[in-house]
Amino acid sequence: MPLASHSTATIAQALSGIDFPANKNDLIEHAKKNNADNEVIQALNEMPDEQYTSMADVFKGVGQSH
């Protein structure tokens, strides 16, 4: 499923309370702790493996996934 189907609100909710900077694995682990759905986890998994410094950065990374 293409990532465009995810709202930024869903991703923001999944990452609520995360401390930045965070790398891709931090984002995935945090989303799992927040009981994010599998589509959000998959979207995070497809992001570039980089350091993210803000939620806006995360949204940019999500936009770069396949």
The 10s digit of each residue's pLDDT in 9-57 is 899 999 999 999 999 999 999 999 999 999 999 999 999 999 999 999 9
Better-scored residue on pLDDT, 32 or 5: 32
58, 11 contact by CB (below 8 A): yes
pTM comes to 0.86
Q: Which domain holds residue 19?
A: 3-63
59, 11 contact by CB (below 8 A): yes
Match 């999500």 to its residue by tokens. Answer: 62
- With CA atoms as reference, report the closest residue to 20 among 61, 65, 64, 63: 61
